A = this chain, B = another copy of it.
Amino acid sequence: MKTINLASKLAQFSTHWDPHVVADYNDNDVMVVKFQGEFPFHLHEDTDDFFLVLEGEMVMDLEDAQHPVGAGELFIVPRGVTHRPRAAAECKVLLIEPKGVPNTGNPATAAPKPRI
């Protein structure tokens, strides 16, 4: 039980689209992640997807809309909604998902989530 400095955690890795777990909240992973470029379009059938931009700017692409999300802004993708985060330049994000959720929506192609 301690204070978690998100910038310090983000300084521990440089990879993109590679969420790192920094804390647990009930049955959720609280993660930090760096976005740059485009992630594949995907959806999560069983959970909402929580994104809070800490630094930089991303765009949340939906099938019929594009939502810019900047530092200090939150975007929650409801379950079942196809989405794609993208970022022209590196963007640092706090991500919350239930434990065990594959980041691509597909367990076969999902990255593991290290803990830092």
Instruction: List residues of chain B with CB within 8 A of the CB of A54.
Output: 72
The quantity of this chain's copies bound in the complex is: 2
Known: A3-B68, A67-B2, A81-B1. A22 touches B98 (CB 8 A): no
Name A44-91 residues within 8 Å CB distance of B.
Answer: 47-48, 50, 52, 54, 60, 62, 65, 67-69, 72-79, 81
Query: Is the interface on chain A under 10, 10 to 19, 20 to 34, or 35 or more residues?
Result: 35 or more
Judge if A43 is at the interface, Cβ distance under 8 Å. no
Known: A52-B94, A94-B52. A75 touches B26 (CB 8 A): no
Instruction: List residues of chain B with CB within 8 A of the CB of A116.
Output: none
Contact assessment for A3 and B75 in the assembled complex, using a CB-CB cutoff below 8 Å: yes
